[in-house]
Amino acid sequence: MARREHQMPNVKVSGGKRPYYYIRYRVRVLVARDQFERKEKQHFLGYCDEISKRQAERMRDTVMVEINGQVYTLQSQIRFADFVELYRRDHLVTLAPGGKKRDESLLKNHIIPELGSRGLCEIGALEVQQFLNQKEADGLSRWTPNRMKAMLSSLFAKAQDWGYWQGKNPVTKARLGRKKPKRQKQILTDSHFQMLLKELPPIEALMVKTAASTSMRVSEVLGLKWDRVNLERGLVRVDRRLYRGDFDEPKTEGSKRIVPLGMLCAEFRQLRPADAQDDDFVFQRDGKPLDDRAILRNCIRPAAKRLGIYFEGFGWHTFRRQNLTLMQEEGATAFEAQAQAGHTKPSMTWEYTVVGLDRREQSVLRVQQRLFGRAESSEAA
């Protein structure tokens, strides 16, 4: 455990043509993992022909207040890469599989190559800002530096909790540059969405309908079991998710929610086998749940390309974004859309919303009709 040391060295006088006052004190220096040495340092106070010994002693007192106030710890000098191993072992294992895989990738490809060889105590606010600036200059999408900033903040927070770091978190003051989306957010038009459904097999089509009309994440759709589907009331309880073979609770507490099936209730009734058990997955073949990546790769994206409606970034998130956009176009409040999506913050729901040009054109016309009167707005059109 870290402990404070009290030192009060005598003021000494050097030899030579111009003597000076100085003191010596000791510090701990890490020389290998879990090993340190005590190193002696010499501190110059002033020349004897310029200050008195009493003045030198007062200067010594000022210096030693700072030195003795420090907590000399072996932990703070640990190599950053070595601390990351502790972070992996004791923190990353607590994350959901998706978050763990994401963070492992960022550590391996970005953070450790850049910062791993430094001591933990050598990484301050300036080093963090320079690291993030470089990642933005490399042309990475906004999401990547933003997530790396969050990871670094988490790393130093854990370092504080575990006694490896003293003082403020150096990530607190770090800032990212102006947001520059890598690609434009898009959704399908109503007609394109209906065209896509006709191209898909029944089970895949129902999965897409469910995602696009309930805002359920694909992991929540795949993790749906019959005991969570109330066909009498047309409701689904979302409190499980299936991600890459891992069956667990959703990513946040706010993700646990009840969503209405509406018109899809009849299709769910038709899908349910007569001998279905409550513990059976809704979307499965031969008793095994489906894989979202395989469906996207082998079924949905090829269909979109055949129809000429494919765009960069087209995937399961497109349907979730489509739902939240249409809900708000149909008059749902931001908080209603937030509850439907299972987001923790309304700002996240807004990130999913795409306001189309045709909708904005109609809004402009309605405002002009109120301000100028119908005749003038029609003449302008």
55-70 pLDDT tens trace: 999 999 988 887 776 5
User: What is the band of 18 on the pLDDT scale with cuts at 50, 70, 90?
Assistant: very high
- For the segment 287-326, what is each residue's pLDDT rounded down to a tens digit? 888 999 999 999 999 999 999 999 988 999 888 888 877 7
Alpha carbons within 13 A on the beta-carbon side of 196:
29
Distance CA 226, CA 271 (A): 11
Whole-angstrom CA distances from 238 to 210, 283, 351 are 12, 15, 22
Q: What percentage of the chain has pLDDT greater than the value 70?
A: 80
Q: Is the pLDDT confidence value at 261 over 90?
A: no
Q: What is the pLDDT of residue 74?
A: 52
Q: Is the pLDDT confidence value at 264 over 50?
A: yes
Distance CA 201, CA 199 (A): 7
Q: Is the pLDDT confidence value at 213 over 70?
A: yes
User: What is 355-372 written as a DSSP string?
Assistant: --HHHHHHHHHHHHHHHH
Q: Is the pLDDT confidence value at 283 over 60?
A: yes
Distance CA 192, CA 26 (A): 73
Q: Is the pLDDT confidence value at 232 over 70?
A: yes
Alpha carbons within 13 A on the beta-carbon side of 59:
16
Q: What is the pLDDT of residue 321?
A: 84
Q: What is the pLDDT of residue 308?
A: 95
Q: What is the pLDDT of residue 28?
A: 67
Number of Cβ atoms within 10 Å of the Cβ of 257: 19
User: What is the band of 364 on the pLDDT scale with cuts at 50, 70, 90?
Assistant: low
Residue with structure tokens 């450790």? 112
pLDDT, mean over the chain: 82
Please list, residue by residue across 283-322, b when 16 or more beta carbons sit within 10 angstroms of its beta carbon and e when fewer do: beeeeebbebeebbeebbeebbeeeebeeeebebebbbbb
* 272 Cβ contact partners less than 8 Å away, ≥ 6 residues apart: 226, 229, 231, 282
Q: What is the pLDDT of residue 378?
A: 47
Nearest of 362, 364, 367, 343 to residue 353 by alpha carbon: 343
Helix or strand or coil: residue 41? strand
Give the largest Cα separation in the chain, rounded: 103
DSSP annotation of 9:
P
Distance CA 7, CA 9 (A): 6
Beta bridge partners of 38: 28
Average pLDDT score over residue span 139-166 = 86
**pTM for the full predicted model:** 0.56
